[in-house]
Amino acid sequence: MTRLPRWLQGLENPVFARLYLAQTINLMGDALTWLGLALLAFELAGEQSSTILAGALTLRVTAFVLLSPIAGVIADRMDRKRLMVANHIMRMGIVCLLPWVTQIWQIYAIVLALNIFYAIFTPTYIATIPLVTTEQQRPQAIALSSATSQLLGVLGPGIAGSIAAWVGTRQVFFLDSITFLLAAILIITLPGRMVVNAQPSTQTPSRMWQDMQTGLTCLWLDPLIRYALALQFIAAILGAQILVNTVGHIQSILQLGKPEYGWAMAALGLGATLASIGLGHFRNKHHPIVLMSLGTLLVTLALLPAHQVLLSGLLLLWAMAGIGQTLVNVTTQTLIADRVAVEVQGRVYGAHFALSHLWWAFAYPLAGWMGSHLASYFFYSSLLSVGLFVGVFIIFKPYHLMQLRRGLWHQHDHDHSDPSHQHHAHPADQHNHLHFHPAP
């Protein structure tokens, strides 16, 4: 029997294949949602629609930062299959409200509701990939999910625009709701339950806060993951420059039009997609530290000469930036799966999803300010990133991190009546401990 190419070998796992198909349909639904929202905002507000969309994106990032850590706790304490199905059904119902929107505030309310559930779904889905795949399949599965997300990020709006032109602005939301229903049906058909804690503890507010702290603590205690977070911060600063300022650069500096802007963003997505496809191969040959560091340097170097090139050069640079972004972000997700035990991964992925979006919440306004106050905004953002990378390199000493032993962060529950544990707390209090167990 002929095996699939390396980057598709995660699909040999039938459970992941079904989960992946559900996520792909879900991503297409998201493309329909945001394109429909943009058209609806223009229908209601005309030239002020950009302000509405900016506010909607702000609400989206805010929901991610505030709710993702809670979502990670829920994902570790509930049946993830049931949680993802309920999430899709709720979003299907919310999207069906959009055709009747007549006021601006209604758009904001619906966007907030949608992204509350999106903030719950995404960390749950990411944390479920390591749960349903083997150690060998995991890198390819995570990379394939990322590649599909990048590819639909490029192609999705075009496909959604064609569909909207065919069925109409408001009717597109009904089609959108069907994608969520199909994704829910696919997840329902997954075998068994997806519970990582067979005997979940009672969730009091203090216990939930402790579980949220577990996710954040694990991120900060592990030096490899901490280094990855620092590089993701640099990558966010550079990525925000591309997303915010490319359109102005192409239309004002290069004196070109919207099609050329579409080509530039397609080049970014194509580079990211190709990197995701090839990452499973390179990961087996190179340490994650090397891949993440190389990715940060690629994005930094891509922006350095951006003001000095014509469109063809910019397309190559943006493809290089897409490769770099993927090397940083996908390698970080795989690193968490490799160094965190399954029963804690939901909380850690939830905390990571919140922190990574917090970086973007800082990077977007910075990119907007640099684009409006500096002539060579790409060049100066690249110089800023060089300085940050040098600082991160000196502080973390990545050449030492490469010598760290493999192992897993693992959580133990115990109470203070155990005389082997000395803590300043009430004897009846129960709490948990996060430990790192080196691999043999």
What helix, strand, coil percent values describe the chain, rounded to 5? Answer: 80, 5, 20
- Alpha-carbon distance of 88 to 9, in angstroms, equals 27
- Phi, psi torsion values for 353, nearest 5 degrees: -60, -40
More confident residue, 93 or 34: 93
Supply 115's token pair: 């992204």
Q: How far is CA 158 from the centre of its chain?
A: 22
Give the distance between the most distant pair of CA atoms in the chain: 73
Confidence of residue 197 (pLDDT cuts 50, 70, 90): low
- Looking at residue 198, its pLDDT comes to 52
- Looking at residue 323, its pLDDT comes to 94
- Alpha-carbon distance of 421 to 414, in angstroms, equals 9
Region class of 437: left (phi > 0), else alpha (psi between -120 and 50), else beta: beta
Asked if the domains at 1-194 and 205-440 fall in one CATH topology, the answer is yes
- Looking at residue 432, its pLDDT comes to 59
- Alpha-carbon distance of 313 to 378, in angstroms, equals 14
- Looking at residue 421, its pLDDT comes to 45
Region 198-211 average pLDDT: 62
Radius of gyration for the chain, computed over Cα atoms and rounded to the nearest angstrom:
22
More confident residue, 2 or 3: 3
- Alpha-carbon distance of 62 to 68, in angstroms, equals 10
Q: Contact at 8 Å (CB) between 182 and 25? A: yes
- Looking at residue 428, its pLDDT comes to 39
Rounded to the nearest integer, the mean pLDDT of the chain is: 83
Supply 202's token pair: 């009672």
List, as one string, the DSSP characters of 100-117.
G--SHHHHHHHHHHHHHH
With a cut of 90, say whether residue 237 has pLDDT above it.
Answer: yes
With a cut of 80, say whether residue 440 has pLDDT above it.
Answer: no
Confidence of residue 2 (pLDDT cuts 50, 70, 90): low
For residue 215, what are the CA distances in angstroms to 197, 344, 369?
A: 15, 7, 33
Find all residues with CB under 8 Å of 326, minimum gap 6, and list them: 146, 150, 271, 272, 275, 276, 279, 295
For the stretch 354-390, pLDDT in tens is 898 899 888 888 888 888 888 899 999 999 999 999 9
Find all residues with CB under 8 Å of 24, minimum gap 6, and list them: 148, 152
- Looking at residue 427, its pLDDT comes to 39
**According to CATH, what is the number of the domain 205-440?**
1.20.1250.20
With a cut of 70, say whether residue 199 has pLDDT above it.
Answer: no
Q: What percent of the chain is modeled with pLDDT above 70?
A: 87
Q: Please name the fold of domain 1-194.
A: Growth Hormone; Chain: A; (1.20.1250)
Q: Is the pTM here over 0.75, yes or no?
A: yes
Side-chain-side CA neighbours of 166 within 13 Å: the count stands at 8
Supply 281's token pair: 């191969």
Q: How far is CA 331 from the centre of its chain?
A: 12
- Looking at residue 426, its pLDDT comes to 40
- Alpha-carbon distance of 195 to 198, in angstroms, equals 6
Q: Which of 232-236, 388-392, 432-436 is least confident?
A: 432-436
Question: Domain coordinates of the chain in residue numbers?
Answer: 1-194, 205-440
Among 367, 294, 357, smallest CA distance to 326 is for 294
With a cut of 50, say whether residue 424 has pLDDT above it.
Answer: no
For the stretch 68-101, pLDDT in tens is 888 888 888 888 899 999 999 999 999 999 899 8
- Looking at residue 388, its pLDDT comes to 97
Q: Contact at 8 Å (CB) between 150 and 272? A: yes
More confident residue, 108 or 422: 108
Supply 64's token pair: 């991610």
| Residue at token pair 């580079």 | 271
More confident residue, 118 or 4: 118
Specify the amino acid at residue 79: D
With a cut of 90, say whether residue 403 has pLDDT above it.
Answer: no
Q: Contact at 8 Å (CB) between 181 and 92? A: yes
Q: Contact at 8 Å (CB) between 242 and 321? A: yes
Confidence of residue 429 (pLDDT cuts 50, 70, 90): very low
More confident residue, 30 or 197: 30
For the stretch 259-306, pLDDT in tens is 888 788 888 888 988 888 887 666 667 889 999 999 999 999 999 999
- Phi, psi torsion values for 428, nearest 5 degrees: -85, -10
With a cut of 80, say whether residue 339 has pLDDT above it.
Answer: yes
